[in-house]
Structure 1
Amino acid sequence: MNRFEQAVYDCMKPTEALYEQTRNPFHRKIILNFWRHVHLEGAGLYDQICADDMMVERPVYRITWGANPAVIEGREGVKAFYDSVGDVVLWNSDDRIAVADWGIADELTFNLLGLGGIMQAIGYDVPDPHKFYHVRSRQAFIWPYDSRALLAGEHLYEDKTSLVWEEVDEAELTTAARVKAIQKDLLDQLHARFGEKFWVWEPDAATV
């Protein structure tokens, strides 16, 4: 396992730590939705992210990555956004995460690993479209939730002053397919740990 794969395996440890110290059952459901969402997204299971038990009927995403800020509305728009990212490895690190009745706030380092041409298409001005780069920046992820603990959107704000990249030797690379497999394994572990429909808020049975 290389350093990038290890980083993907470790990316939700701050979320797990927040869950363990949280006692409010509604907040715990929000955390579990967030946790599951990240693994679903990493595994490419976008339909499950946009299901009725995970997301509101009309989510709103505000994305400020790269050079092309966008507002995305509706589940179909969200799925199209995920599909548009391309063959890039994504993960978060160095999280400072909190939960409240309204949702999740997470200041983190957002990491992308992939071909320079894809990075340029996103809006990152890496030098060579044919080489591979690790691009990272500090970002604030604000994820609002509704009273049913359903995701209402993602507001992703990038600190452009923190943006850096480094060229990565091909011998060090991992693949998007490999990372999808890692995320699927982590998702399976999450389901095995918490059981069926563990992310669904049921006020009359508010224990986790």
Structure 2
Amino acid sequence: MTSKYEAEVYHCMDSTFELYERTESPLHRAILLNYWRHVHLEGAAMFEEITAPDMMADDPKYHITWGDSPFQVEGRKGVFDFYSSIGDIVLWNSGDKIAVADWGIADEMWFHQMSTGTELKKIGHKVEKDDGLYLVSSRQAFIWPYNDQALLTGEHLYEDKSTLTIEEIDPAEAMTPARVREIHKECLAEMEARMGPNYWVYRR
């Protein structure tokens, strides 16, 4: 049975592409395409592509406020290791309010995480059952600075903890990490077919 959440994953970056289509600045358009691609690469667990020189600046800095222990990550290797450490957690966003400027992206959204209690505890969430399936949701603000080459220089992720909900859900509603990776890869392939190779690279 298809999870009711699959459609949200397929459409998680619609707001970004809609803004891209309304945007005229070549730099802003390139930033939006980088952001769109980054999120789908992350969902597809394609971390080498995220940290490649055509996507990310040399010395990115991440500031993350998930759970009870905010932390920072520096450098491409640090970013790669951070993504690799997240484990089998399904992530997606919805309800985005997004803006783009020369300095980068600001996006307020609902951010969702689905996984077992064991995996969610690794990133600081407090849940009762290690083997339970949980849906974690909160309102978050993503501030992603970019340089003048439309390369990501960092991520600042801020969580409104007053909106945090952690709900145990029926395993029948689960999306497996493998299925979600497939969805993101479908989206990436469709975009490349539509936009051509290297569509995310900024050309002055």
Q: Which bin holds the TM-score, normalised by the shorter protein? A: over 0.9
CA contact (8 A) 1:131 1:167 kept: yes
Match of 1:28 in 2: 29
Q: Figure out how many residues of one structure are paired with residues of the other and give that number.
A: 203
Counterpart Cα distance in 2 of 1:57 and 1:48: 14
State the 1:24 CA deviation. 1.2
CA contact (8 A) 1:67 1:122 kept: no
Which one has the bigger helix percentage?
1
Is 1:146 aligned to 2:161, yes or no? no
Counterpart Cα distance in 2 of 1:77 and 1:5: 30
Quick one: which amino acid aligns to residue 35 of structure 1?
A: W
State the 1:67 CA deviation. 1.6
State the 1:6 CA deviation. 1.2
Where does structure 1 lack aligned partners over 5 or more consecutive residues?
Answer: 204-208
CA contact (8 A) 2:16 2:98 kept: yes
State the 1:185 CA deviation. 0.5
Match of 1:122 in 2: 123
State the 1:87 CA deviation. 0.5
State the 1:169 CA deviation. 0.8
Match of 2:102 in 1: 101
State the 1:16 CA deviation. 1.3
Which structure 2 residues correspond to residues 14-163 of structure 1 after superposition, within 5 A? Answer: 14-163=15-164
State the 1:193 CA deviation. 1.0
Counterpart Cα distance in 2 of 1:29 and 1:101: 11
Quick one: which amino acid aligns to residue 173 of structure 1?
A: A
CA contact (8 A) 2:99 2:106 kept: yes
Percent identity among equivalent residues? 54
Q: What TM-score comes out, normalization by structure 1 length?
A: 0.95
Q: What TM-score comes out, normalization by structure 2 length?
A: 0.97
Match of 1:11 in 2: 12
Counterpart Cα distance in 2 of 1:87 and 1:67: 20
Counterpart Cα distance in 2 of 1:26 and 1:41: 22
Counterpart Cα distance in 1 of 2:200 and 2:122: 35
Quick one: which amino acid aligns to residue 15 of structure 2?
A: P
State the 1:121 CA deviation. 2.1
Counterpart Cα distance in 2 of 1:23 and 1:5: 32
Is 1:178 aligned to 2:179, yes or no? yes
SS of alignment partner, residue 5 of structure 2 = helix
State the 1:165 CA deviation. 1.5
